[in-house]
Amino acid sequence: MLSSIRFGDFWVHSELSSLINRENSDNYNFGDVTKLGAALHYTPNYDVMLGLELDATNTGKNEFNGVTMDNSGGQAVTLTAVGSWRYLSALGGNFTVNGSYGQPLYQDVNWYGLETNYAATVMLTFSHKLEY
């Protein structure tokens, strides 16, 4: 379930999702995943977006032949700063730079604490709408 509401230049988003994994043909079942998220995005114009996103994820333990795998599953909470800049419209589409920097606030994955102190990405994308 996703929801969004706009207040002027600000957007507030929320997400609640659940992924139920079925057992595969090798009698292996990946743990179910439940996610709760919230985001605040600032969009002063059509070309720029800056925001903060908070995600909490709970992953169930995997099972093989009905036996729970101890080194699987766990919980994580991450705060991520995101940004997007549409810098050029050309060739029938848009060129965009997207970036994010995520900081884990809590991790309990496979009985380990905060192993990673950040995750960062930068992407250059081109999008084009096909019309028939």
**Angstrom distance (rounded) from CA 58 to CA 48:** 32
Model pLDDT for residues 34-62, shown as the tens digit of each residue: 999 999 999 999 899 999 999 999 998 88
* pLDDT confidence of residue 127: 84
Cα Rg, the chain, nearest whole Å: 19
Q: Which of 79, 29, 77 is nearest to 57 (CA)?
A: 77
Comparing 22 with 13, the larger pLDDT belongs to 13
Whether residue 131 is predicted with pLDDT greater than 80 in this model: the reply is: no
User: Quick one: pLDDT at residue 115?
Assistant: 59
Confidence of residue 112 (pLDDT cuts 50, 70, 90): low
**Cβ atoms of residues 56 and 17 within 8 Å:** no
Span 104-113, mean pLDDT?
A: 74
Q: Give the chain's domain count.
A: 1
Q: What is the mean pLDDT of the chain?
A: 88
Q: Give the closest residue to 82 by CA, choosing from 125, 38, 126, 121.
A: 121
Model pTM above 0.85: no
Q: Which residue has the higher pLDDT, 117 or 47?
A: 47
pLDDT confidence band for 31 (50 / 70 / 90):
confident
Q: What residue numbers bound the domain in which 100 lies?
A: 2-128
- Check residue 94 and give its pLDDT: 87
